[in-house]
Structure 1
Amino acid sequence: MSEAYITRIAKFLPNESVPNEEMEAYLGYINGKPSKSKSIVLRNNKIKGRYYAYTKEGIPTHTNAEMAALAIKGLFLENTDEIKNVDLLSSGTSSPDQIMPSHGVMIHGWLPETGSIEVVSPSGVCCAGMHALKYAYMSVKLEDKKMAVAVASERFSPSLRAEQFEDEVQQLIKLEQNPYVSFDKDFLRWMLSDGAGAFLVEGQPNKEGQSLKIEWIDGCSFANEEEACMYMGAYKQEDGTLKSFKDFSNEEILEKSIFSIKQDVKLLSEKIVKLGFTNLKNILINKGFDMNDVDYFLPHISSYFFESKIEDVLIENGIPVPKEKWFTNLATKGNVGAASIYMMVEELFNSNVLKKGEKILLAVPESSRFSYMFCLLTVC
């Protein structure tokens, strides 16, 4: 089989970085009042800037698919005609612009320069971008494709704006209940960001400049053991099962805020780090890889609150990573879901600090029902 290399990396971030003090100017005030959770969440996640694909007036500037396409075009800035040679588009997101058609083909629609190529759209949340990369990696490794593009993108912002919560708030006021949206929904507003990242995967490394050899990509899910933690378009029932939006009337969808992103914060804190990063030890053993050989550790974290938690679990399992080897750009880019890991790799790859032979370990936890993806790269 062929080897597979990431030969180019590009990103697209919409508009200007939004600092913490301007967030509600973009997101709006729920029930006309400042959020009570904002300062608490920002203090813990330590995010200083993020990107939104719309203006303060609420005018959209980009669709999810458009941002993904712009990131892909960024791979071919030096020779735009090369995009015609792409023979696979593999895309991941948790916030597509529509339920149907698939996100991948909508991206393809923004790329008329390409031919009638194969397009796939792995679904999921944060792991979706890694699943897209694995499909591209396997396709090149099997020599089925020669120039595969893996892309991950998110456009969370429309779901975070205050007007998306107003109808629910009015229902609560009528019932003389707390007019604030519950913490499990509100706190996500201060963490999520928009943007896209893209990798070009080929069977040969760059003749000039660096490439990243994909050594392996592996993952695991604990959905057989755990109930859903983060969900959208469903209602979590008392027994922990999810009831689909399809089984509610229009009135019930509004009343229960079915299409708001929700997260079980207590379950998140208890499970997200322990499950996946304990299992990482087994993956490393199976791959015959020693954690001491890692030069850069890139964990996707939604909040710096989890940084010390991950560190503790790695130490407990005898696979510690010194903090000087950690790399993340959460503070400046925000949590871009499936695209976050692409953003981190892009920034590190283009920083001119990598040396030939260095090992980069990627770690992507997904809280939706506790899935995890890990990947080892070698600088060449």
Structure 2
Amino acid sequence: MKEVFITRVAKYLPNNPVSIDEMETYLGFINGKPSRAKKIVLRNNGIKTRYYALNKEGNITHNNAQLAAEAVRSLFDKSFKEDDIELLACGTSYPDQIMPSHAIMVHGYLGGRPLETYSPMGNCCSGMHALKIGYMSILSENTSNAVIVGSELCSPMLQAKNYEEEAKKIGEMDENPILAFEKDFLRWMLSDGSGAFLLEDKPAEKGLSLKIEWVDSISFANEVETCMYAASDKDENGNLISFKQMEPKAIADNSVMAMKQDVKLLDQNISQLAARALKGICKKRNFDVKEVSYVLPHLSSEFFRNKIAEELIKCNLDIPQEKWFTNLTSVGNIGAASVFVMVEEIINSGKLNIGDKLLLAVPESARFSYSYALLTVC
């Protein structure tokens, strides 16, 4: 089999960084009142600045496919152009439309020649699933290169206007209405942006490359109910009910299209299943975490940092936190794009040396799935 290398990396973070004090200027006030959950959530997640593809008037400046295309364009130069892409795989949590597929729309913005595209569905792991598609395509000699993208456009879904009908309904029943925490929680967690990799069957002629040793994913949906969801709702038994089964008025009245998260379920499972997933992968790959130079963990919140570290220690997988490379506090939680942006930042940080091993770690709380990849600097 051929070897596969990440030879170019790029990111695109739209507009100017948004401070925590500015967030409601962009997202708006539900029922005309400041969020009660905001301070609690921001204190725990540790995010100081983030990026929105919105202006202060609440208008979208880039759609999701455009964000992805901007990151891809940053990979191009005289020696690699649109027409040189052989495969395009794009992962995201919430595309601009249900159909056509996300990667098709990104291809439309990029132009160039006809090419093979893939749009893995999912949440945070979808970018890693796209990475595996490109990795396996080159390994199997289906293509000699692949462009892989992770992107997110969450901010429009978090704007107050999306909750107005539900807020009116709550207001009619309660003199002191407040949006359910599982909805308000995510308004202060998520950010916009994109990142892209160029994968090739040989290292770059200049600069550092990252050899992909393996990419593995595992789902625990057989054991745990849905935790993060959109375009659906949960019944009293934890079953997910699709918007297709609902009346249009019920969809608006209950903000069904908005993203929701069961915070208790998240806290009970996300850390211990992350350690369990990694333990299984280490056994499968005969890999010892002591070999890791840096781990790049996609943290949704700093709240989970120590919890994850404790679970890793319990499983004899201790990776000292001085080896953790994160950028959550400065760019926010960009979902499927987070790991791409972390790789771009560390490869340009001056920290890496030939032979260093990077462990990419991406948890996905939607129904608890995890993706890990091992890269070697060369």
The range that moved more, 168-177 or 340-349, is 168-177
Aligned to 1:129: 127
- Aligned with residue 278 of structure 1, among 257, 276, 279: 276
Q: How does 1:92-241 map to 2 (within 5 A)?
A: 92-112=91-111, 114-176=112-174, 178-241=176-239
Q: Report the Cα distance in structure 1 between the residues aligned to 2:78 and 2:309, rounded to whole angstroms.
A: 42
> Which residue identity does 1:2 align to in structure 2?
K
Aligned to 1:296: 294
Partner SS for 2:7: strand
Partner SS for 1:150: strand
> Which residue identity does 1:269 align to in structure 2?
D
For residues 298-349 of structure 1, what are the alpha-carbon distances to aligned partners after superposition, in whole Å with 9 as ceiling and x for unaligned?
Answer: 1101000000011000100111011110010000010000000111111001
Shift of 1:162: 0.9
CA contact (8 A) 1:168 1:254 kept: yes
Aligned to 1:25: 25
Shift of 1:80: 7.0
The range that moved more, 48-57 or 167-176, is 167-176
Partner SS for 1:75: coil
CA contact (8 A) 2:274 2:308 kept: no
Partner SS for 1:91: strand
Q: Does 1:311 align with 2:297?
A: no
Shift of 1:279: 2.5
The range that moved more, 29-38 or 325-334, is 29-38
Q: Report the Cα distance in structure 2 between the residues aligned to 1:81 and 1:154, rounded to whole angstroms.
A: 25
Aligned to 1:5: 5
Q: Report the Cα distance in structure 1 between the residues aligned to 2:79 and 2:71, rounded to whole angstroms.
A: 13
TM norm structure 1? 0.98
Using the aligned pairs only, state the percent identity: 54
Shift of 1:215: 0.2
Shift of 1:178: 4.6
Structure 1 runs (4+) deviating above 3 angstroms are none
Aligned to 1:57: 57
Shift of 1:256: 2.0
Shift of 1:276: 2.4
> Which residue identity does 2:168 align to in structure 1?
Q
CA contact (8 A) 1:66 1:107 kept: yes
Partner SS for 1:40: helix
Aligned to 2:42: 42
For residues 149-196 of structure 1, what are the alpha-carbon distances to aligned partners after superposition, in whole Å with 9 as ceiling and x for unaligned?
Answer: 000100000011111111110011122365211111101111100001
Aligned to 1:67: 67
For residues 199-240 of structure 1, what are the alpha-carbon distances to aligned partners after superposition, in whole Å with 9 as ceiling and x for unaligned?
Answer: 000000012211000000011100011110000011101111
Aligned to 1:251: 249
Shift of 1:79: 2.0
How many residues are matched?
A: 378
CA 1:320–1:179: 2 relative to 1, 3 Å: same
> Which residue identity does 1:104 align to in structure 2?
A
> Which residue identity does 2:97 align to in structure 1?
Q
The range that moved more, 177-186 or 163-172, is 177-186
Partner SS for 2:21: helix
> Which residue identity does 1:258 align to in structure 2?
V
Q: Report the Cα distance in structure 2 between the residues aligned to 1:245 and 1:236, rounded to whole angstroms.
A: 11
For residues 274-301 of structure 1, what are the alpha-carbon distances to aligned partners after superposition, in whole Å with 9 as ceiling and x for unaligned?
Answer: 1121231121121111111100011101
Partner SS for 1:21: coil
CA contact (8 A) 1:28 1:162 kept: yes
TM norm structure 2? 0.98
Q: Report the Cα distance in structure 2 between the residues aligned to 1:103 and 1:304, rounded to whole angstroms.
A: 30
CA RMSD in angstroms, aligned pairs only: 1.0
> Which residue identity does 1:74 align to in structure 2?
S
> Which residue identity does 2:177 align to in structure 1?
P
Q: Report the Cα distance in structure 2 between the residues aligned to 1:80 and 1:18, rounded to whole angstroms.
A: 35
Q: Report the Cα distance in structure 2 between the residues aligned to 1:27 and 1:180, rounded to whole angstroms.
A: 16
> Which residue identity does 2:72 align to in structure 1?
I
CA contact (8 A) 2:277 2:370 kept: no
CA 1:376–1:81: 2 relative to 1, 3 Å: closer
The range that moved more, 320-329 or 254-263, is 254-263
